[in-house]
Homo-oligomer: A and B are copies of this chain.
Amino acid sequence: MSAVIYPKVALIGLGLIAGSMAHAMRRAGLAETITGYARSAETRKIAREINLVDEVCDSALEAARDADLVVLCVPVGVMGAVAAEIAPGLKPGAVVTDVGSVKAAVIEAVAPHIPEGVHFIPGHPLAGTEHSGPRSGFAELFDNRWCLLVPVEGSDPGEVARLTRYWEGLGSNVDVMDAEHHDLVLAVTSHAPHLIAYTMVGVADDLRRVTDSEVIKYSAAGFRDFTRIAASDPTMWRDVFLSNKAATLEILGRFTEELFALQRAIRTEDGDHLHDYFTRTRAIRRGIIDAGQDTDAPDFGRAVASKAKARTE
């Protein structure tokens, strides 16, 4: 039995997510042909050199033409424009999905461009790294991570089921939810944490009384964890915050309230409050490890990673 789910898949955008999808599709044999397109000639050239997909096209329209599945893997802010561009090439019965980190704004931007007879089923894989670009993808990125599908009004249940099988073939678990809830959940589990990390790194960079060189040398005391997230792609994250404004600001408001309460506990030397708070937060970490969503190796297994690297050098 063939594993092919969509004979021809088009990836628009050829960065971390699209590249990882290409590797994972090939690993599982989910497609017969993969086409791709990225905005810059440089990225297209690299994609050809490393044979990232079967055919790198010189326009999004050409890549999407006659595809069974088109995946929009571009920053959230340009999803609408890209959808408009590919619309004329979409064949009846084709499925269009996306991997954008925000859903309500993407649906609003993309849905109007989807022709009659084409299925639009938005999605979002909850997996990534701080790296980007055509060389950053790898087949294991989605293994045991969750992908959220966010069907719109009129999404065909059979097509949602097929897209579910496709993401499972890429290694993911799949859940379905509505766009508003998705955007709130992601504000908590991703968008607010990223903004906070960017802010903390910015503060450290700005201080006069502590030099950047001190911050760098002494970063292993905790700070370096924040710098990984804060090294993520600026365009992607600008777009995320601008497109998930309300939910992000809501969570940041809650965050600031709690932070003030903890600052007050420090100021008034309320050690019991601090101790209780720090005890309660451990349960979530245990839950994440038990759910297989993080490694239980100390320090994310950094020591292992450095040794594995040393072995290959």
Contact = CB atoms under 8 A, between A and B. Distances in A.
Contacts of A281: 198, 201-202, 205, 227, 230-231
Nearest to A126: B221
A9 B303 CA distance: 27
Contacts of A210: 184-185, 188
Interface string A219-248: 111111111111110110110011001001
Contact of A293 (B198, B205, B216, B231): B216
A222 B231 CA distance: 12
A103 B108 CA distance: 54
A295 to B, nearest CB: 5
Contacts of A216: 284, 287-288, 291, 293
A293 B224 contact: yes
A189 B230 contact: no
B262 A199 contact: yes
Contacts of A254: 203, 206-207
Given A215-B188, A263-B249, A308-B301, A278 B198 contact: yes
A255 to B, nearest CB: 5
B282 A231 contact: yes
Contact of A267 (B101, B206, B245): B245
A91 to B, nearest CB: 33
B284 A212 contact: yes
B255 A293 contact: no
Given A223-B193, A285-B228, A199 B302 contact: no
Stoichiometry, as copies per complex, reads: 2
A255 B193 contact: no
A245 B275 CA distance: 15
A266 interface: yes
A232 to B, nearest CB: 8
A309 to B, nearest CB: 6
Interface stretch (A36-44, A50-58, A127-135, A162-170): A127-135
B238 A271 contact: yes
Contact of A196 (B138, B200, B304): B200
Contacts of A251: 203
Contacts of A104: none
A123 to B, nearest CB: 14
Contacts of A145: 220
Given A189-B215, A196-B200, A205-B281, 18 more contacts: A146-B220, A181-B209, A188-B207, A189-B221, A192-B200, A195-B266, A203-B255, A216-B284, A225-B226, A228-B300, A234-B274, A245-B267, A248-B266, A249-B263, A299-B300, A300-B301, A301-B301, A305-B305
Interface of A: 101, 126-131, 136, 138, 140, 145-146, 148, 175, 181, 184-186, 188-207, 209-210, 212-232, 234-235, 237-238, 241-242, 245, 248-249, 251-252, 254-256, 258-259, 262-263, 266-267, 269, 271, 274-275, 277-288, 291, 293-295, 297-306, 308-309
Per CB-CB distance, the 8 closest pairs between chain A and chain B, nearest first, are A301-B305, A190-B221, A129-B298, A234-B278, A231-B285, A300-B300, A227-B285, A189-B223
